[in-house]
Structure formats: C-alpha cells, structure tokens
Amino acid sequence: LVTDERSRSFMAFLGGEIAGFDTDRDIFITPYRGYHNPAVVEKGKCTNSKCVSDDGCGSIQIDIELEPGETRELVVLLGRGKAAVEGKKIVKQFGDIAKVKEEFEKVKQYWHGRIEGLSVCSPDAQFNSMMNMWSPFNCLITYAWSRMASLIYSGERDGLGYRDTVQDFMGVMQLIPEEAKKRLELMITGQGSTGGAMSIVMAFTHKPGKEKLPKEDEYRSDDCLWLFNAVPTYVKETGDIDFYNKVLPYADKGKATVLGHLRRAIEFNLKRTGKHGLPSGLFADWNDCLRLGTGGTSVFVALQVRFGLLTYIDICAMLGKLAEIKWANKELEKIDAKLDKFGWDGKWYVRAYKKSGEKIGSKENKYGSIYLNTQSWGIISGHADKYEGRAEQAMQSVNEKLACDYGLMLCAPPYDNMPVAEIRSIVFNKGVKENCGVFNHTQGWAVMAETMLGHGDRAFKYFYSSMPASFNDKAEIRGSEPYVYSQYTHSVFSPRYGASRVPWLTGAASWAYYAAIQYILGIRPDYKGLLIDPCIPADWKQFSVVRRFRNKTLNIKVVNPNGVQKGVKKITLNGQTIEGSLIPVSRMKKENDVIVEMG
C-alpha cells in the first residue's frame, strides 16, 4: 500500500442508518472516565467529533427499535484507506450480510485447517481445551509475531530473536511444516561462519553472506544450539531427510549443508571455553540475567552441547557419515569428562561457574543454590543416565526445592542484598522472573524430563500447575487470560503469588504444547514413522487422539486397563500387530485406526 492509504482508516455500517459518529477519544470518553463508562454512551448521542492529532477512536451511532422477539443482523466494517475510495469499495463488496457470513466461514475454515493437526479426547476437559484450541493457537500467534508485537520489547528489537524464533518451531511444526521450513532456512542463514548466531535476524532485510556478526562478547552461547531441537523436528515431521544436505549460506561469509551448520554450532561452543574447560556463557546462556562472559562457564550449555552431539551422531548414522560419527564421539567423551567432574553438586547439577571459579546453583550458595534448567537438561541430554539414581535424585531435588502451586521456580532461594555483576537476577523483586519466579518457558523441559523417567503423575501435575486453563477459577489471582501462556508467574516468594505477566509472546507456549503432545501423550514423529510412547497419570484409563501425519490421518486410541504411567504392551495398526512402538509410515494408509494397549 502507498503511504496515503496507510495513514487513513475507515468505518462503515450495514443494517441500519448512521445517526452519528465520534472520532475524538477525549470527547467520546471525556476526562476522568474510562472505557467502562464513556460519556457519549451514557448520553446516548454522538457529537460528530473529528479527531485532530491527539487520541483518535472510531464510534458509530445507529438508532433501531426492536419489537418483542424481533432480531436484526448488524455488521461493522473496519478497514485501511480513504473512506470515499477504499471504504466505498469494501462496502460494495461486503454490502450483503450473506457475503459477510460466507467470508467469515472461510476464516473459520482457514484457522481450523491450521489448528487441527492434532485433536485430543482425554479424561481432563481443560487439558482437551488447551490441546484442541488454545495451545496451537497460542503457538501460531507467538510464531507469527516472534515477540515483535509486545510493548515489553518496544524499541528494543524489530526483528526475529534467534533463540526465541528457533524454539517457536517446536510448537508449529506439525501444524504448518512447509511455512515453518521457510523461516527455519532464514534462521539457519542467521548463523555466522563462526558457528554462533546473530541475536536478531531481520525478516525482510536480511542479506545472507553480507551481515556483520556480533562482537565476541555479544554472542549468546545457547542461540545456535536450539537448531538441534528445531531441525530434526522438521525432518521427522515431514520425512524430508535430504534437508540435511541442503546448502545454505552463513550470515557473513561462506556456506555449508544444514548438517554442516549443525556441526559448526557445536564447534562454536567447543572452541569457546572458560573455567574447567566448559563452554563459555558469553553475553547470556538462555538466562539473560547470567552474564558469565568469556571466562565464566555454563553447565546448562555444556548439557545442550551433549544433546547436540548425540543428535548429530543420530543424524550421521542415518546418513552413513562414519567419519563425522567418530569426530562427534570423541568430542562427546571430552564434554562428558568435564561434566562428570564439574557438573554434579551432590544432589543436583550446578548451574554455572563464574570467571573466579565460584559456583552458581550450588549448595555452597546462599542465594540461588539450585536451578531448574540443569536438572531437566541433565535428563534430556542423557548425561544423568550415566550414573545410577542420578536422574531420579536431580528431579527429586526439583520437587523438594522448586515446586509450588503454580509450577516450578527457575531457582531458589531468591537473590537478595548482593552486587549486580555476573548474576543480575537481583534487579527483580523476589519471586519475579529470573529471581526465583515461575519462568513458564522452562516448565515443558521439566515435564519432558519427568516423562523420560516414567513419572506420569508428576509430569502431569507439573504441566497442570502452569497450564493457563487450570486458572479458570482463579482469574482474580492470575490477572491474565486463562487460555494463553504468560512469560512468568509470581512464585511463593512474591506477595503477588500466582499472578502471571507478559502473555502471548513467550516460548512457554511452544515447549508446553510440544511436551504435552510428544511426551505426555507420547505421540512423536520419527524419521521412519510415528512413535507412540505415552506417559500419563495412572488414573487415565484411556484417551484418544486424531493425528495428521505426512498427509495421512491416524485415529489413535490408547487404553490403560491396569493404570500404569508408562509402557506400551501392544500396538495394532488397522487390525495388524506392530512390533515395538514405532508405526512405520510405509505401512500407513490414507486413514488409519491405531489401538495402543499400555501395560
């Protein structure tokens, strides 16, 4: 649109005669009033005010009389452009209410087509509501705007935040895989030849091969590592194995296959190490309140690197790249040696090390003696599996020290009376955001970890604690919509305990949805088919799912007669028994009936 059209808007009305209007908000509301009691509405008559600068509004008055039982259909049209030009054109196009209904039905079908990649019928109605509507919708909106539409970030950024956007793929890949692929390629080209990623990728002006990379101490050490979650998720959803061989440019110079980009992401963190040879935290390591620099190190990132190496080995095994497997295994041994020696604190994982060598997230600390992320990722990365009982111990510590009514706190106890240096959580009040708040982004990881341990009851309890719909009867406490994820919830250390803030624009939505459908319901895409491995509350005797997968539909019914939390006893596909828990795509029809018996 030209500038002239962008600077104007219009309102129109169908179904009656316009008796008046107001476009000056100060006149429509008047001073010392609000949207709940505008003066013009109370008086029942518009003033025909025209806004000149200041605050505008759009209001139209119509006068109608209805006989008892009579109904009238009214339509208000809003648009951009001149009223005398674009406005009249739109009124002519939608002047028939039947046409409006027809277009509205198209909008409904459009959204149903995007959201209905998976539908759930479980024993819990609120969980069903989130899975069938609000979680996928939240994920799509978060993906579309990627934090750019928030007043919280206004003036701070106008592009796609790297770590946020790459993680947003986790919630939309099964809904809009082809759309997501295009943006995934864009984000991969936001990775520099160093292996580190640009913190912001400009969606419309990004020029791969010509971008200026961040300074060494401005990199966020975790950014590039989220590719190990996003890229396999796309490939497993679509079966597009050749995507790993696709050549894409780096942000600044050179190019590589997608697999090459993944290797470079690992190398970035292996080459930048600090205390004890662990990966440097740099500007931030997901937690923007941990400024560890080049000398301080992140155990969390070390666990991410381990996960990345295992993922890389899995991919290379599928592609037959033996030399790459040998390299990755050697690096895995090295990172494990560091984690074995410096990662464990006795009953839980350390969070990080300052440049001085002082621990963060240790029993030695007065404040922040335990952090959630390293406990969850100790299990997700597989490192805790190396030691008998370690995974159980780490998550038991989480349950004892971080669990509250509204989810899991990011750390505890809260920071107080200390200098702002490496740890900047002190800038927040106790129980808020990074200072011991319930940071909702992290909840999905803990749920995944608990399901990997077979703890269906605990996993669902954690999920339910932070699930927006569980606040339906606590609106006065939550203070935010009971159908959308917020960035954080005030924890037990805050006088606003239970209040949730910064809705819509948070990675919590994607990870919560991903954890629920792929780990609680246990329906996970794999390279060769669909894996079914639920981990549910023991009192769930059955649930059903309709899943769209590679242009096929699977009607899945899971029965749990013995009340187990995890374990698949038998799977039948269209009446035929399947060996193991993977349904091969080669055996799927266009429409499929799947029966899963747990036991």
288 catalytic? Reply is yes
Each residue of 125-154: b (16+ CB within 10 Å) or e? ebbbbbbbbbbbbbbbebbeebbbebeeee
Q: What is each CA distance from 224 to 166, 179, 285, 392, in whole angstroms?
A: 9, 21, 11, 29
If 0-12 CB within 10 Å is exposed, 13-18 middle and 19+ buried, where does residue 576 land?
A: exposed
CA dist 455 and 564 (Å) reads 10
Residue from 561, 533, 539 nearest 451 by CA: 533
* Residue 278 DSSP code: P
> Residue 433: phi, psi to the nearest 5?
50, -125
Chain-centre distance for alpha carbon 223: 15
CA dist 409 and 41 (Å) reads 46
CA dist 584 and 569 (Å) reads 17
Token output for 114: 């995007």
Q: Are the C-beta atoms of 79 and 87 separated by less than 8 Å?
A: yes
Q: Are the C-beta atoms of 431 and 490 separated by less than 8 Å?
A: yes
CA dist 75 and 533 (Å) reads 49
Residue from 144, 159, 17, 13 nearest 91 by CA: 13
Within 13 A of 104's CA, how many CA atoms are on the CB side? 9
Residues 6+ apart with CB under 8 A from 23: 49, 50, 51, 56, 57, 58, 59
Residues 6+ apart with CB under 8 A from 538: 456, 457, 563, 564, 565
Within 13 A of 532's CA, how many CA atoms are on the CB side? 30
DSSP string spanning 185-216? HHHHTTB-TTS-B-SEE-TTT--TTSPPPPPG
Q: What is each CA distance from 226 to 230, 254, 293, 339, in whole angstroms?
A: 6, 21, 20, 20
Kind and range of the H or E run holding 366: none
Residue written as tokens 């406490």?
Answer: 477
Catalytic one among 240, 252, 288, 405? 288
Q: Are the C-beta atoms of 147 and 199 separated by less than 8 Å?
A: no
* Residue 415 DSSP code: P
**Residues labelled catalytic:** 288
